[in-house]
Amino acid sequence: MQLTRALFDEVMVPNYAPSPIIPVRGLGSRLWDQQDREFIDFAGGIAVNCLGHCHPVLVNALTEQANKLWHLSNTMTNEPALALAQRLVDTTFAEKVYFANSGAEANEAALKLVRRVALNKFGAEKSQIIAFKMGFHGRTLFTVTVGGQPAYSDGFGPKPADIDHAEYNNLDSLKALISDRTCAVVLEPLQGEGGIISPSKEFIQGVRELCDQHNALLVFDEVQSGVGRTGELYAYMGLGVTPDVLTTAKALGGGFPIGAMLTTTELAKHLVVGTHGSTYGGNPLACAVALAAYDTVNTPEVLNGVKAREKLFKDALHAINAKYQVFSEVRGQGLLIGAALSTEWAGKSRDFMLAAAEQGLLVLMAGYNVVRFAPSLVIPEQDILDGMARFEAAIAKLVAARG
């Protein structure tokens, strides 16, 4: 049977429009497709492959666990889940952990938790959730409604109620919405899908203070920014603000599906037996791989290396822009970087992504105006230089075609 891109259109639901490239193997930050063409990977599976492809530590962890135990469900616990939960508690603000399979599921758990806490402590009137425009929190109906992009949530009938959206980095916008009816404020400490937007420290600290004033919980969605992506283990650690609830996924498993919600004992006690659950949450295979990924990332060498690689990326992008003037700014933190397109190239981020692929480089979009880079946290410096040479070749071709 021939496995081609055309087969996708025959057998898969058409909610995706995947690239014609079908990778078949990877090593580090390089991929090879069915025709054995080589690609440098600056996409990282959308900030998931934090240690690149087939990292030996992850391969060994998966292989070892695969020969022991695959699945139990949550009628029992298991050693990898306990070990990973202990590590998350030891290295973050959290005292309690809930495991899921994805960022959306971790966020769903967080949203249910904050509503349950408010109901139990204050009553049914305290139900408002405030999130931020251009935010992204997953694709379940609840999480996509909390996400601040109506294009993703419209068209599915009535939406979950009592959800409002403020302007990111605009404290006055939040002040106009928040009240004692607010049960939680939900935000990304670095907006990803919304264009790689960093919060100001004044904004993030102001959000914390407003939450405290109104007995509202602060939820940080660190699905994309967590596990070393910004050069901190979690982004909140560099902002001087501690959330009440934090969600993590993507890089947590280094490519194996897993998500988690982290919180305090005082809040966790409201999710009593039977209030929430997940068949696969805390799966031994996922937790074994995640613990190996987490411990590999959580070292001074890797986290400091992220910051050094950030400089290489940004220096290269600025040098390219000095020649071609295609970007209005380069933004982001660590290895979650966005190159915002200039007015002349507005709306053309997909063109840049496709042109890069033609040159053997995988990059991402963050909306139609931003080219996004989310590579392995341990990508070799030579791969960065080689990849940026390919990116420049792609831009040169685009510019030449435009005349």
Please tell me whether residues 199 and 275 are part of one structural domain. Answer: yes
Show the CA angle centred on residue 361, arms to residues 8 and 29, nearest 5°.
95
Same domain, residue pair 314 and 181: no
Residue 95 is labelled as binding a ligand: no
Q: Which residues, 6+ apart, have CB-to-CB distance to 57 below 8 Å?
A: 51, 292, 293, 296
* 36 annotated as ligand-binding: no
Q: In terms of residues, how long is the chain?
A: 403
Q: Say if residue 132 is in the same domain as residue 216.
A: yes
Tell me the pTM.
0.95
Same domain, 241 and 374: no
Joined together, the tokens standing for residue 142 give 């609840």
Residue 204 and residue 269 in one domain: yes
Q: Is 224 labelled as part of a ligand binding site? A: yes
Q: 25: annotated binding-site residue?
A: no
122 marked ligand binding residue: no
Would you say 251 is a known binding-site residue? no
Give the chain's domain count.
Answer: 2
- Please calculate the CA angle 154-156-157 and round it to the nearest 5 degrees: 100
334-344 burial code (b ≥16 CB/10 A, e <16): bbbbbbbbbee
State whether 198 and 233 are in the same domain: yes
94 annotated binding-site participant: no
Same domain membership, residue 317 and residue 274: no
Residue 335 to residue 191: CA distance in whole angstroms = 13
Same domain, yes or no, for 42 and 62?
Answer: no
Q: Is 223 annotated as a binding residue?
A: yes
Structure tokens at 297: 């990332």
What does the pLDDT profile of the chain (403 residues) look like in tens digits?
A: 889 999 999 999 999 989 999 999 999 999 999 999 999 999 999 999 999 999 999 999 999 999 999 999 899 999 999 999 999 999 999 999 999 999 999 999 999 999 999 999 999 999 999 999 999 999 999 999 999 889 899 999 999 999 999 999 999 999 999 999 999 999 999 999 889 999 999 999 999 999 999 999 999 999 999 999 999 999 999 999 999 999 999 999 999 999 999 999 999 999 999 999 999 999 999 999 999 999 999 999 999 999 999 999 999 999 999 999 999 999 999 999 999 999 999 999 999 999 999 999 999 999 999 999 999 999 999 999 999 999 999 999 999 998 7
Q: Is 139 annotated as a binding residue?
A: yes
Task: Please answer whether residues 377 and 41 qualify as being in contact, where contact means their C-beta atoms are separated by less than 8 angstroms.
Answer: no
Whichever domain contains 358, its CATH number is 3.90.1150.10
One-letter identity of residue 263 = T
Query: Same domain, yes or no, for 134 and 273?
Result: yes
| CATH classification of the domain holding 90 | 3.40.640.10
Last residue of a domain, one of 297, 326, 351: 297
* 336 shares a domain with 268: no
Q: Which domain holds residue 237?
A: 57-297
Q: Decide: residue 276, CB within 10 A, 0-12 exposed, 13-18 middle, 19+ buried.
A: middle
| 171 within 8 A of 206, measured Cβ to Cβ | yes
> Looking at 222-258, which runs of residues are DSSP E strands?
245-248
Last residue of a domain, one of 265, 297, 329: 297
Last residue of a domain, one of 253, 282, 297: 297
Whether residues 47 and 176 fall in one domain: no
Amino acid in position 172: D
149 annotated as ligand-binding:
no
Q: Are residues 331 and 272 in the same domain?
A: no
